Structure 1
């Protein structure tokens, strides 16, 4: 396609490659139209990601301003109402910061958005309060562009051509302040050359621009649309359709709702007598305009859409009449089909029995796969537990060794200094063991809840509401929860649990019995449900 595109710039080579490529582009355009929701969702994902950054704590007004500006850019030519909301917020922030350049910038951007959405009065009010002489030089292009768009959009909405002349005057001013090497200057110049009928110069400039930009970008859509306009001026409908399609594809892929290429395609298809394509493109164009609230595009399409719709409905009526004739023929064929039905019915019954057998086999296979997945999940969970506990075990062992060595050194120092009373006092004291036990339980609680963060909530959901455990401030687990935490880890031996918690075996039995009595489900199921916490969501008993 790249070689063909290069050849297309030489008019002498057009017949060699145009028709096959045009058919391919038509299919691509139909494809992206059918899947435009996919491209819209990608844009929404970018927008949602930016929105989340607004909720970061400690955000300064300047940072919010920058995020709002990016959100405004994303919503521009997509959802004007949202873009306006962020532009209005940025104008308020700029005024709050007493940042004059940004206040001007935000105001001009807001005026452009108002112009796109048909709020011409609001846009004009902002521009009337913006003094040209006080504007910083870098903002002059934005100032003249905003005026140019305002009068151009108002001319489309009001159907008054006199405003087109005012738009053209501001377009002249815009060209005077743009950098001649910039994309904005050259693209605007190309459009003006097309309007003046200087098509060879315009084609040369557009070819240069097309070689500098990437495919399927917003700039690519603009330049290919300009090419479409140029070839339409040359009365070369094949090339005009080609470039309008390229432009429309790029707009849809970028989720650009403010576009002109679909409108141009609808008009050309209607002129060529292709009502199906004309209706399809017109419907897509007006859907985009209504979605994004671009009023001047809606105004441009409203009258034309009604004409296409009426023609399309007339064509459908003719098709319906033809269909009725075919229905008569189909009725005759139905008699023949009825004779075949009995034979097919017998065959279908055989096939149904075969499918039933296959269904039963597939069901069994699905059950086996589910069981295998459950086992794999349990094995993976067990491996995760082992890895995390081994790492924490080594950390704790190293810590305890250090503590024991420090304690040994302390006792040794007391013995060397013959401080026997203090030595005997230290040896008889249980405070170290108690402190270490507290530390051990805190480490156990932290490790366990790191592995099963919802354990307490899930455990409480298995108890009747009035018997649910309420932990003291600062506690992660209490003794009852530790017993069941050990059970969840697979330690079911009450003697081992009692040893770990430094309590009697009867205490463990009493706690387990007391918890089973508080359960909101049967005592037999209670500990089984506890052992499954963390594997699947635990539902509160009804």
Structure 2
């Protein structure tokens, strides 16, 4: 199922690339997926190798060409897969050709041996091999292979040395061999078309796009290794995304053909690093390092060892930068959160302080209102009592004045009996009773609910209610004077014409029967509400 999905994905990518030119990211995505299947392709190659080695075991007495063909097939399987094994079989080919006296086959084997020495970085050994061969004695086909090997060898050592002086000499020799090669074996139409990619853009036809060469490669019916070689060559004609595309294509073909020479994947990692795609560059360069170790490519391993630390360092720097950004973001968030928290704490404290102040203001206002009410109540009571006092006094003064005039008149006339009769008509107790009645009326006008409120403080059986025709009785009158602010017992006794002990007795008896504690009873009496009737006392009291 996984294999089918991979094939479908590759087909879709191919169709997409045909439809809309070149899509590098899609190809890189497929390449990453295929790298995960490397083991599958390697197992397929190992299976083919095992089959050939099995055939070789039974071919020891076979004719030369049978043995040589098996050696060559094993060499081709190992050629781009594992250097040591490839060298073993190409050496066996050379020994077999020498034993049977096949000079051309021996030279061919030596050229093949030189090619794998080049791929593995054995430049001296490769030069030793080609220096033993006289190119003028070679047939055209072998001379072509010889010149290609020598040109690539000079190009490879120039790249490996990276020296301003010696590298130029090697490159000059390499270019000379490639020109000589064109005279020996002219390029075919396909090779000539590929060479068009290297024409400067200023004179290159518009149709020669990367997509055109991609379709050309697909339509050529090349094997995977051949497609990788062509794609790698085309990558040198482009830069940027186009170069990455052809290198990714070459690497993809290398993966599927189990090619471990690492050139394409190394160049891909290097190009991605140049374009600051360090994550992908590091992944592909690690793959290149693994392949170089597996194949035994010492030259590539040296190049990778130079590049990999640079890429790894940049990856580490980028990750550190990301961590720093995350840390800065976290610190900013933390500072913001802490600032917000403290702001909320301060706001809450201010809010609670405001609420407390508002509550205090309400309490103070309530206290002030209560005090004002008390002052107003006290003032109102005093006004009523003063009015009652002056009204009563003026009434008594008028009465005394009339009585004085009448008595003086009767004395002058000698009517002493009439004087005696007038004096006998003055009833002090009756006057006191009228005074108490008038006081009760005024009090109940100011405190109309006093009797009810007073009895609410007592048990039902102990409640004190005035008798029919009474306004207040003695008990109620004592506590009425207390409510008016007359708290001194002697003053109460003098006003009501009681003894001090009698007043104490009344008060003690009531407090003992109260529903509230005795110490709180007088306070409860003082809490009985004052009601302003707004009616003049003079209209309510008859003298």
Q: How does the TM-score come out when normalised to structure 1? A: 0.52
- How far apart, in 2, do the equivalents of 1:250 and 1:194 lie? 26
Determine the structure 1 residue equivalent to 2:183: 176
Number of matched pairs: 315
Please give the root-mean-square deviation of Cα atoms over the aligned residues, in Å: 3.4
The verdict on how the C-alpha distance between 1:270 and 1:58 changes in structure 2, with shifts beyond 3 A counting, is closer
* Secondary structure at 1:257 match in 2: coil
* Secondary structure at 1:214 match in 2: coil
Pick 1 or 2: higher relative contact order, CA cutoff 8 A, min separation 6.
Answer: 2
Indicate conservation of the 8 Å contact 2:140/2:185, yes or no: no
> Counterparts in 2 of 1:245-284, with a 5 A limit?
245-284=248-287
- How far apart, in 2, do the equivalents of 1:294 and 1:198 lie? 39
Selected match of 1:112 from 107, 110, 115: 115
> Counterparts in 2 of 1:74-113, with a 5 A limit?
74-113=77-116
1:56-82 alpha-carbon deviations (Å, 9 max, x no partner): 155324322111111111111211121
Selected match of 1:220 from 221, 227, 233: 227
* Secondary structure at 1:91 match in 2: helix
Deviation at 1:211, TM superposition (A): 4.8
Deviation at 1:155, TM superposition (A): 1.4
* Secondary structure at 1:231 match in 2: coil
The verdict on how the C-alpha distance between 1:6 and 1:282 changes in structure 2, with shifts beyond 3 A counting, is same
Determine the structure 2 residue equivalent to 1:25: 27
- How far apart, in 2, do the equivalents of 1:248 and 1:284 lie? 10
Deviation at 1:126, TM superposition (A): 1.8
- How far apart, in 1, do the equivalents of 2:309 and 2:202 lie? 31
Selected match of 1:294 from 284, 294, 297: 297
Determine the structure 2 residue equivalent to 1:159: 162
Selected match of 1:62 from 60, 65, 69: 65
Indicate conservation of the 8 Å contact 1:32/1:249, yes or no: yes
* Secondary structure at 1:180 match in 2: coil
- How far apart, in 2, do the equivalents of 1:240 and 1:150 lie? 24
1:47 aligned to 2:49?
yes
Determine the structure 2 residue equivalent to 1:5: 17
Indicate conservation of the 8 Å contact 2:119/2:261, yes or no: no
- How far apart, in 2, do the equivalents of 1:109 and 1:195 lie? 34
Between 120-129 and 96-105, report the one with greater CA deviation: 120-129
Deviation at 1:197, TM superposition (A): 8.6
Deviation at 1:91, TM superposition (A): 0.7
Indicate conservation of the 8 Å contact 2:59/2:66, yes or no: no
* Secondary structure at 1:230 match in 2: coil
- How far apart, in 1, do the equivalents of 2:223 and 2:121 lie? 28
- How far apart, in 1, do the equivalents of 2:61 and 2:219 lie? 38
* Secondary structure at 1:40 match in 2: helix
Deviation at 1:32, TM superposition (A): 1.0
The verdict on how the C-alpha distance between 1:224 and 1:111 changes in structure 2, with shifts beyond 3 A counting, is closer
Indicate conservation of the 8 Å contact 2:228/2:253, yes or no: yes
Gaps of 5+ in 1: 9-13, 330-542
> Counterparts in 2 of 1:43-442, with a 5 A limit?
43-56=45-58, 58-60=60-62, 61-160=64-163, 161=167, 162-181=169-188, 185-186=191-192, 189=195, 193=198, 200=205, 203=208, 206=213, 209-214=216-221, 217-232=224-239, 237-319=240-322
Gaps of 5+ in 2: 1-12, 333-543
* Secondary structure at 1:54 match in 2: helix
Indicate conservation of the 8 Å contact 2:144/2:181, yes or no: yes
Deviation at 1:295, TM superposition (A): 3.1
Indicate conservation of the 8 Å contact 1:153/1:296, yes or no: no
Indicate conservation of the 8 Å contact 2:235/2:242, yes or no: yes
Q: Which structure has the bigger radius of gyration?
A: 2
- How far apart, in 2, do the equivalents of 1:309 and 1:294 lie? 21
1:257-293 alpha-carbon deviations (Å, 9 max, x no partner): 1243323332332233222111111111222122212
1:364-403 alpha-carbon deviations (Å, 9 max, x no partner): xxxxxxxxxxxxxxxxxxxxxxxxxxxxxxxxxxxxxxxx
Indicate conservation of the 8 Å contact 1:203/1:227, yes or no: no
Indicate conservation of the 8 Å contact 1:117/1:295, yes or no: yes
